[in-house]
Amino acid sequence: MLLAGAIWVVATSERSAPPIEPGLAAPDFSLPLLGGGEVSLRALRGKVVLVNFWATWCAPCEQEMPAMQRLYAQLAPRGFELVAVSVDEDVEAVARFRERLALGFPIALDSQRGAADRYQSYRYPESFLIDREGTLVARYIGERDWDAPEYSGRIARLLGASEAPAN
């Protein structure tokens, strides 16, 4: 029930920031990696990057992971990087998930959802394609067949190739 004259206080947060859109600089982040080390978007400058926010409890996230692995295996030698950012709190669950699906791409840990907030990512899976200069090219909400020509071709073009790799 609302009371007449009630004052609403809205906390300032990343959620109230202007929407991130294609053509803008992708927000930088620095996160620990599963298994040790860390990854930052700034360190990946010069590569085409797909940042994917996901969780182990998300069925569509699990369904798209095999295609992401195939895409990564095809394009990583050509300057492509894929960073799967887990928003899970249970690191062991993330490790079991990676092992069960035999994933070889980097998995970053964002249990506090700081990077997810900067990307305004609240639905999983959600992915962001970033060009070599660090500019956001596309935002994808929901599961994708990442090694399909529609996606692999777009990434190949950003890498400077004129055609998509064979699947």
- Residue range 44-79, pLDDT digits in tens: 999 999 999 999 999 999 999 999 999 999 999 999
Domain boundaries, the chain: 20-159
**Contact call for residues 52 and 126 (beta carbons, < 8 A):** yes
What is the mean pLDDT of each successive set of 10 residues along the chain, which is 167 residues long? 38 59 94 97 97 98 98 97 98 98 98 96 96 96 96 96 45
pTM (two decimals): 0.85
CATH pick for 20-159 out of 3.10.129.10, 1.20.1440.230, 3.40.30.10, 3.40.47.10: 3.40.30.10
3-state helix, strand, coil split of the chain in percent (to 5) is 30, 20, 45
Q: What does the alpha-carbon distance between residue 71 and residue 127 come to, in Å, rounded to a whole number?
A: 14
Q: How far apart are CA 167 and CA 165, in angstroms?
A: 6
Residue 153 is predicted with a pLDDT of: 95
